[in-house]
């Protein structure tokens, strides 16, 4: 669907190691020195969903197809990146193309792993990155204001309206506030401005606290500091040990579950990241279940049945007649489509129906 999650952070905090584990492939070079990632690595990652396994037990399909997310591993930013330091503006542009930011923060001490700032301080590290994102946004808005002023002189009404919003936005972010807290963020003027600028601090941020093995079962002082910081900004922290996650890449399910149990956690940090990212992007899944394939289809929350059908094929929307719908719970409880129909749990829905997460669907169409 072209929706991406960008992994950012200072150099050498575990981004590429996390990316390796996320993609289950060693295609992002990971090394103990800054800027080991030069080009942004992109990968499509399956969204873990145990419901697909349960549907497959009933349908026994030839294959299973998961929903997916795009992840982008962006090279380490440093202080001054907005002015071109490190490898600067190029990477800020890569972040601009993503919808959600996963900010990997180092929350462990290890003298064998260098830190560009010389010590472990998660709040300092977070603020370095977020200041650079803010500086980049200030620069972008200043340039837009200059352009809008020229248009406004020509009596362009839209330009005048956007200029007023842009100047208010500039005052807001110059005080050190992220775009996401701007009170005019729902206005048409802001939406018109941000459609092109894709301002960095307007994006959802998830913090990934990268800990050592001991830090998984109990929050260390660095994680506690990060969680307090995140709570104050209404953001979320997901704890993971990138090293352990990478080690588990080739494990079978039983081995992985056993290792997680031994580490005192119930769910992999990477699974939490994928699920939370899926939610932050405003996405959900509906299912089709047949002998050829059990599949999760990705749609935005609030999508109507015809638009959901178009994800399979545009003709399904053009010729949409009705959608046959069984909730996931009913499909499982009554042992599949036939049992659900016999129990009266099969519904026919029209063009106005809002698809719910987990709906098992079959579309009637005529082209």
Q: Which residues are annotated as a binding site for ATP?
A: 12-17
- Encoded tokens for 343: 């129990």
Q: Give the C-alpha separation, 68 to 1, whole Å.
A: 9
54 versus 88: which is more confidently predicted?
Answer: 54
What are residue 204's DSSP bridge partners?
Answer: 100
Answer for the pair 220, 209: CB distance below 8 angstroms, yes or no.
Answer: no
Over the stretch 208-233, which tens digit does the pLDDT of each residue have?
999 998 889 889 999 999 999 999 99
Phi, psi angle pair for 105, to nearest 5°? -120, 130
Q: Is the pLDDT of residue 99 over 60?
A: yes
pLDDT confidence band for 145 (50 / 70 / 90) = very high
Which of 280, 310, 339 terminates a domain? The answer is: 280
> Counting Cβ atoms within 10 Å, is residue 63 exposed (0-12), middle (13-18) or buried (19+)?
exposed
Q: Which residues are annotated as a binding site?
A: 12-17
Q: How many CB atoms lie within 10 A of CB 236?
A: 17
Per cent of the chain over pLDDT 70 is: 89
Do residues 105 and 240 share a domain? yes
Note whether residue 294 is domain-resident. no
Domain of residue 271, CATH code: 3.40.50.300
Strand 4-8 versus strand 63-65 pairing type:
unpaired
Note whether residue 292 is domain-resident. no
Q: CB neighbours of 271 closer than 8 A, spacing ≥ 6?
A: 48
Q: Give the C-alpha separation, 197 to 313, whole Å.
A: 31
Q: Give the C-alpha separation, 74 to 100, whole Å.
A: 13
What are residue 41's DSSP bridge partners?
Answer: 73
Q: Give the C-alpha separation, 262 to 240, whole Å.
A: 15
Do residues 275 and 319 share a domain? no
Q: Is the pLDDT of residue 110 over 90?
A: no
Q: CB neighbours of 360 closer than 8 A, spacing ≥ 6?
A: 55, 286, 287, 288, 289, 325, 326, 327, 328, 331, 337
Do residues 97 and 213 share a domain? yes
The mean of the pLDDT values for the chain is 87
pLDDT at 2: 44
DSSP symbol at 288: E
Max Cα–Cα distance, the chain, nearest Å: 69
Q: CB neighbours of 125 closer than 8 A, spacing ≥ 6?
A: 9, 10, 13, 105, 106, 117
pLDDT confidence band for 79 (50 / 70 / 90) = low
Do residues 265 and 346 share a domain? no
Total number of domains constituting the chain? 2
**Residue 206, helix vs strand vs coil:** strand
Q: Give the C-alpha separation, 288 to 290, whole Å.
A: 7
Note whether residue 219 is domain-resident. yes
260 versus 155: which is more confidently predicted?
Answer: 260
**Residue 364, helix vs strand vs coil:** strand
> Counting Cβ atoms within 10 Å, is residue 80 exposed (0-12), middle (13-18) or buried (19+)?
middle
pLDDT at 39: 53
- Encoded tokens for 297: 């289809």
Q: Give the C-alpha separation, 225 to 222, whole Å.
A: 5
Do residues 218 and 171 share a domain? yes
pLDDT confidence band for 16 (50 / 70 / 90) = confident
Do residues 328 and 273 share a domain? no
Domain of residue 308, CATH code: 3.10.20.30
pLDDT at 254: 85
Domain that holds residue 350: 302-365
Q: How many CB atoms lie within 10 A of CB 119?
A: 8
Q: CB neighbours of 291 closer than 8 A, spacing ≥ 6?
A: 59, 60, 61, 62
Q: Give the C-alpha separation, 72 to 47, whole Å.
A: 15
pLDDT at 46: 86
Query: DSSP readout, 131-144?
Result: HHHHHHHHHHHHHH
pLDDT at 29: 43
266 versus 302: which is more confidently predicted?
Answer: 302
Do residues 210 and 354 share a domain? no
Closest to 44 in 3D by CA, of 64, 67, 28, 26:
67
Do residues 73 and 31 share a domain? yes
pLDDT at 77: 58
Q: Give the C-alpha separation, 19 to 267, whole Å.
A: 18
Reported pTM = 0.84
> Among 21-25, 63-67, 92-96, 298-302, where is mean pLDDT lowest?
21-25
Q: Give the C-alpha separation, 42 to 38, whole Å.
A: 12
Q: How many CB atoms lie within 10 A of CB 94?
A: 19
Do residues 203 and 351 share a domain? no
Note whether residue 285 is domain-resident. no
pLDDT confidence band for 91 (50 / 70 / 90) = low
Q: What is the dihedral of CA 227, 114, 21, 223, to 10 degrees?
A: -10
């Amino acid at each position: 669907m072209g929706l991406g999650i960008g992994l950012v952070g200072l150099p050498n905090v575990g981004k590429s190691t996390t990316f390796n584990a996320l993609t289950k492939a060693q295609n992002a070079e990971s090394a103990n020195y800054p800027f080991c990632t030069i080009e942004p690595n992109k990968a499509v990652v399956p969204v873990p969903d145990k419901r697909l396994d349960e549907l497959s037990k009933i349908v026994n399909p030839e294959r299973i197809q998961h929903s997916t997310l795009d992840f982008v591993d962006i090279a380490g930013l440093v202080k001054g990146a907005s002015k071109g330091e490190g490898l600067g503006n190029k990477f800020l542009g890569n972040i601009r193309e993503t919808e959600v930011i996963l900010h990997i923060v180092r929350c462990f001490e290890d003298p064998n792993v260098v830190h560009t700032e010389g010590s472990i301080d998660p709040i300092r590290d977070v603020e370095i990155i977020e200041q650079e994102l803010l500086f980049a946004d200030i620069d972008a808005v200043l340039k837009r204001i200059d352009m809008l002023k020229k248009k406004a002189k020509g009596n362009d009404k839209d330009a005048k309206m956007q200029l007023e919003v842009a100047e208010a936005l500039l005052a807001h972010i110059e005080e050190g506030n992220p775009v996401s807290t701007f009170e005019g963020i729902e206005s048409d003027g802001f939406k018109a401005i941000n459609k092109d600028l894709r301002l960095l601090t307007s994006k959802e941020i998830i913090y990934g606290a990268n800990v050592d093995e001991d830090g998984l079962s109990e929050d260390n002082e660095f994680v506690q500091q990060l969680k307090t910081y995140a709570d104050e900004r209404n953001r979320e922290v997901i704890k993971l040990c990138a090293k352990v996650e990478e080690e588990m890449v080739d494990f079978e399910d039983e081995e992985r579950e056993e290792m997680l149990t031994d580490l005192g956690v119930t769910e992999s940090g990477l699974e939490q990241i994928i699920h939370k990212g899926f939610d932050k992007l405003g996405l959900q899944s509906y299912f089709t279940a047949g002998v050829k394939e059990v599949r999760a289809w990705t749609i935005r929350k609030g999508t109507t049945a015809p638009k959901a059908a178009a994800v399979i094929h545009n003709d399904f929307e053009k010729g949409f007649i009705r959608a046959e719908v069984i909730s996931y719970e009913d499909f499982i409880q009554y042992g599949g489509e036939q049992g659900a129909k016999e129990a009266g749990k099969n519904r026919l829905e029209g063009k106005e129906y809002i698809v719910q997460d987990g709906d098992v669907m079959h579309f009637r169409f005529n082209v």
